[in-house]
């Protein structure tokens, strides 16, 4: 694993692919959910070569208890898969979907782009869409869903959780 990633700042880009964080284990090994999102981000990147990648995910008892932010492991994975380190932007060390958007916004604004591809799991996209459309009003947003090979029971459990969380957001906002 690469431990010292040098992040270079780029001014000339068409847009940014924002990859939402997902769990890793206590050693930094990425979960199937995280790998699904990162692999989907790589597919988007291959179709959008003038885009850079912004990974989200910091620390939290429900997804990362290591001494490095989740996004660190995500960036390392992308580089190990052959994506250039120069196409990685700084990390948004978020703890949840709302922070994914709020902490990504100043990074996106710094580069002056208005086109974003938001990558998350397919079952998470309705909530991500709700949050990002509000945080990035006036931007061109595309939502790209990663399919993860969960059991039907696990998938339905995650989908139900997302529906409850989205309902809470709609009732508060």
Global pTM reads: 0.91
CATH class for the domain made up of 15-172: alpha beta
pLDDT at 1 over 50: no
Question: Given the DSSP bridges, would you call strands 115-121 and 140-146 parallel, antiparallel or unpaired?
Answer: parallel
Q: Where are the beta strands (DSSP E) in 4-102?
A: 15-19, 51-55
**CA 45 to CA 76: how far, in whole Å?**
16
pLDDT at 8 over 50: no
Q: How far is CA 171 from the centre of its chain?
A: 25
**CA 84 to CA 144: how far, in whole Å?**
21
User: In whole angstroms, how large is the CA radius of gyration of the chain?
Assistant: 15
Number of H helices, E strands in the chain: 5, 4
> What pLDDT, on a 0 to 100 scale, did the predictor assign at position 148?
83
pLDDT at 4 over 90: no
Domain boundaries, the chain: 15-172
């Amino acid at each position: 694993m690469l431990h010292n990633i040098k992040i270079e700042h780029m001014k000339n880009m068409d847009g940014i692919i924002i990859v939402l964080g997902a769990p890793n284990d206590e050693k930094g090994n990425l979960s199937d959910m995280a790998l699904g999102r990162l692999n989907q981000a790589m597919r988007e990147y291959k179709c959008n070569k003038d885009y850079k990648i912004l990974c989200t995910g910091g620390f939290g008892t429900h997804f990362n208890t290591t001494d490095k932010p989740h996004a660190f492991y995500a960036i390392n994975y992308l580089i190990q898969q052959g994506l250039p380190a120069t196409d990685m932007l700084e990390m948004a060390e978020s703890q949840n979907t709302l922070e994914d958007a709020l902490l990504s916004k100043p990074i996106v604004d710094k580069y002056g782009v208005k086109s974003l591809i938001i990558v998350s799991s397919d079952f998470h996209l309705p909530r991500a869409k709700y949050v990002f459309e509000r945080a990035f009003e006036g931007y061109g947003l595309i939502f790209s869903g990663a399919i993860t090979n969960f059991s039907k029971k696990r998938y339905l459990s995650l989908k139900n959780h997302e529906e409850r969380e989205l309902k809470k957001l709609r009732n508060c906002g």
